[in-house]
Amino acid sequence: MAVTGPAQDTGTLDEWRKRVLADPGLVLDDAEVMRALVLTSEQAMGGNVVDLRGMAMERLETRLNRLEETHRAVIAAAYENLASTNQIHRALLRLLDAPRFEDFVLSLGGEVAETLRVDTLRLVLESADDKSGGLGPLDQVLKVRAPGYVEQYMSGGRPAPARPIVLRQGVPAETSPYGEFAADLRSEALMRLDLGKGRLPGMLALGAEDPHRFKPGQGTELVDFFTGVFERVLRRWLS
């Protein structure tokens, strides 16, 4: 005789009951199933009964969601920091491989800028001699400015001394070292360069069209490391 529908349903329920009893995690690990069970329990008790267990479960679920969000944010930040570290290392290795000073400077505006994901990169050196426009191919990357330019530009014209590293949104096109590209830039990173005793300071300027690429409040540890290595390499070329 064939088994009827209800008997099949009973068999299925018995099978599920055995599976749940053998492995309660099937239910406990499913947030939607647990929510449905709690809701059914609350409805069965009526509206005049306060279910402390259900309230505790809701709070625990809220805390769990917060922890998961924090966990994802920490992992994302770690991956981003690792990617940034790799970018800095690749850029510095490219600079260290330059066989001549000309290659060193030109690589700043080419491979190094691409590696650091910036749209424009300029190296500014202060000099009492006006050599602007007389540097040949290097003029696209290397800019010579009068003494005091670095401090004035990095401080934004304010009387207070500028910080060694400045990240800001907005680029003053009139005084920036980017030339015709300045109008398209929306944020920049500025690094003051200590070129040694008896030498005027320099500046490395990174410009980006993305207004959020550089902004106040961002961490500067990697930028500071890049600046320190770059200073040492540039000092050797200038010696």
Q: Where are the domains of the chain?
A: 13-43, 74-238
* The domain defined by 74-238 carries CATH number 2.40.50.140: no
pLDDT at 198 over 90: no
Mean pLDDT score, 174-202? 92
Number of CB atoms found within 10 A of residue 62's CB = 10
Residues 99-134: tens digit of each pLDDT: 999 999 999 999 999 999 999 999 999 988 766 556
pLDDT at 24 over 80: no
Its pTM stands at 0.67
Q: What is the mean pLDDT of the chain?
A: 83
pLDDT at 54: 63
